[in-house]
Amino acid sequence: MAVIDRLLAPDSAFQQRFFFLAKRFVAGETGRAAMDAIAALNAEGFSATLDFLGEDVTERGAARATRDEYFRLLEAIAARGVESNVSVKLTAMGLLVDEDVAFENAAAVCAAARANADPFVRIDMEGSAVVDATLRVHARLREAGHDNVGIVLQAYLKRTPADIESAIASQTRVRLCKGAYNEPPEIALKEMPEIRRAYLRYAESLLVRGTYPGIATHDERLIAAVRQFTGEHGIAKDRFEFQMLYGIRPELQRALVAAGYRVRIYVPYGTHWAGYFYRRIMERKENALFVLGSLLKR
């Protein structure tokens, strides 16, 4: 484990050498590279949300450093004039150190984001161990007057129906995704057809009664079902957005823009790309095959 930790340490020679593998899914290792990627996406009609990669921070100093990187990032978004907001992970803001630390850092980011054309701050959802704490911090942010913040809900969790209803009641902006962590069957649906059915049920509730939902999926069946549902219910294309990950199914991303839908691309960047990259290759054989292909081409 110690050897693996050393190999995957953000500045290790190993990781620097293998960034070419992650390049399709990670916009770059610097804020400047991320800005360039967003400008290119904007030119194709996409908006973006920027994520500074990192999670599971266990020291206050590191959590503050994440917060400060977001300050720089928000300034860079404004200076470059790109169409983007930001996504944050509360474990990178200190949630595992102390809930108050995460709250204070996230509140500072929300306050700084107010100066931007798109002031919205999305709190990503992480593993089930921190779902309650993440929702509590979000609720505290709203109580403290930060109305430019929203959450992510995961369709695979069995608790999600209640979370959807409370998000609708509090007019919280929700990004709906399937869920990316390996959760036990006691708390999570494990079969894809079941997850899809749940996803569509929640998507419909959010589209009819929610506040500008983000439909985050690359699943063509779900996207077709949402397009049909919104068409049949007269839900205008500017009342929601599709969201997809940088580098995943770009042809599908472009087809949605061409059909007049709003599409936001989640753009991760930074040197701590190993965890994010691992989740992408583990969840889809297409992604693993792409990475294998890149290796063989070298």
Is 36 annotated as catalytic? no
How many residues can be counted in the chain? 298
Report the distance separating Cα 260 and Cα 282, nearest Å: 32
Which of 124/163 has CB closer to ligand FDA?
124
Partners of 153 in the β-ladder: 176
Contacts of 202 (CB under 8 A, 6+ apart): 153, 155, 160, 161, 164, 176
Ranges of H-type helices in the chain = 2-7, 13-17, 19-22, 31-43, 60-80, 99-113, 131-143, 160-169, 192-209, 220-232, 250-258, 274-283, 285-297
Report the SS3 class of residue 175.
strand
Tokens of 81: 């004039």
Binder of ligand FDA out of 249, 250, 255, 294 (CB under 6 A): 249
> Which CB atom, from 34 or from 180, has the smaller least distance to ligand FDA?
180
* Contact residue for ligand FDA among 136, 201, 218, 227 (CB under 6 A): 218
Interaction between residue 15 and ligand FDA (CB under 6 A): no
* First-to-last C-alpha distance (Å) of the chain: 28
- Say whether residue 248 binds ligand FDA (CB under 6 A): yes
Binding segment toward ligand FDA, per CB under 6 A, in 4-12, 163-171, 183-191, 243-251? 243-251
Residue 122 is among the residues annotated as catalytic for this protein = no
- Considering only residues 50, 109, 110, 125, which one is a binding residue for ligand FDA as defined by CB under 6 A? 125
Per-position x/- string for 156-185, each x denoting binding to ligand FDA as judged by CB under 6 A, each - no binding: -------------------x-xxxxx----
From the CB of 192, what's the least distance to ligand FDA, in Å? 7
Q: If binding means CB under 6 A, how many residues of this protein chain bind ligand FDA?
A: 24
CA gap 146, 9 in Å, rounded: 35
The interface with ligand FDA within residues 41-80 (CB under 6 A) comprises none
CA dist 119 to 20, 154, 160, 220, 231, Å? 32, 24, 26, 30, 29
- Shortest distance in whole angstroms from residue 158 CB to ligand FDA: 15
Residue 277 found at the interface with ligand FDA (CB under 6 A) = no
Applying CB under 6 A, the residues found at the interface with ligand FDA are 124-125, 152, 154, 175, 177-181, 216-219, 243-245, 248-249, 266, 283-284, 286-287
Q: Which residues are known catalytic residues?
A: 124, 175
